[in-house]
Amino acid sequence: MTYQSTNPFNGTPVEAFDQMSDKALDAALATAAACFETWRKTSYAERAKIIAKASALMQANVNALAHTMTLEMGKRISEARGEVEFSSRILAYYAKNAERFLAPVKLNPTVGEAHMESSPIGVIFGVEPWNFPYYQLARVAGPHLMAGNVLVVKHAGIVPQCAIAFEALLVEAGAPAGLYTNLLISHEQADKVVDDPRVKGVCLTGSVAAGQSVAARAGKNLKISSMELGGSDAFIVLEDADLEKTIPWAVWGRMYNTGQTCCAAKRFIVVDEIADKFLAKFQAALKALKAGDPMDEKTTLGPLSSEGALVQLLKQVDDAVAKGAKVALGGKRIDRPGSYMQPTILTDIKPENPAFRDEFFGPVALFFRVKDEAAAIALANDSDFGLGGSVWCKDPARGQRVASLVETGMMFINNIDWSDAELPFGGIKNSGYGRELGDMGIQQFVNKKLVRTVAMDAPH
pLDDT in tens, 3-42: 999 999 999 999 999 999 999 999 999 999 999 999 999 9
Residue 371 in domain: yes
Residue 21 pLDDT: 98
User: Are 438 and 402 members of one domain?
Assistant: no
CA 60 to chain centre: 24
Same domain, 38 and 142: yes
Count up the domains in the chain and report the number: 2
Tell whether 362 and 340 lie within a shared domain. yes
Q: Phi/psi of residue 440, each to 5°?
A: -65, -35
112: in domain: yes
pLDDT above 80 for 460: yes
Burial 80-106 (b: 16+ CB within 10 A, else e): bbbbbbbbbbbbbbbbebbeebbeeee
**What is the rounded distance in angstroms from the CA atom of residue 65 to the CA atom of residue 435?**
26
Co-location of 209 and 249 in the same domain: no
Is residue 457 in some structural domain?
Answer: no
pLDDT of residue 159: 97
| CA–CA separation, 235 and 367 (whole Å) | 10
d(CA 189, CA 93): 33
Is 215 within a domain? yes
Q: Tell me the catalytic residues.
A: 228, 262
SS3 450: strand
Q: Mean pLDDT over residues 155-160, rounded?
A: 96
**Residues spanned by the domain of 210:** 2-229+431-451
In tens, the pLDDT along 58-90 reads 999 999 999 999 999 999 999 999 999 999 999
Burial 109-146 (b: 16+ CB within 10 A, else e): eeeeeeeeebebbbbbbbbbbbbbbbbbbbbbbbbbbb
pLDDT in tens, 118-130: 999 999 999 999 9
Residues in the chain: 460
Do 403 and 418 meet the contact criterion of CB atoms below 8 Å apart? no
Is residue 248 domain-shared with residue 222, that is, in the same domain? no
150 lies in the same domain as 269: no
The pTM score is 0.97
408 and 353, same domain (yes or no): yes
pLDDT in tens, 252-301: 999 999 999 999 999 999 999 999 999 999 999 999 999 999 999 999 99
Asked if 132 and 36 sit in the same domain, the reply is: yes
pLDDT of amino acid 141: 98
In a domain, 420, yes or no: no
Shared domain check, 118 and 202? yes
Inside any domain, residue 426: no
Convert the pLDDT of each residue in 184-201 to its tens digit: 999 999 999 999 999 999
CATH no. for residue 257? 3.40.309.10
Residue 1 has pLDDT above 70, yes or no: no
Query: For the segment 372-423, what is each residue's pLDDT rounded down to a tens digit?
Result: 999 999 999 999 999 999 999 999 999 999 999 999 999 999 999 988 999 9
419 is a domain residue: no
Are 436 and 404 in the same domain? no
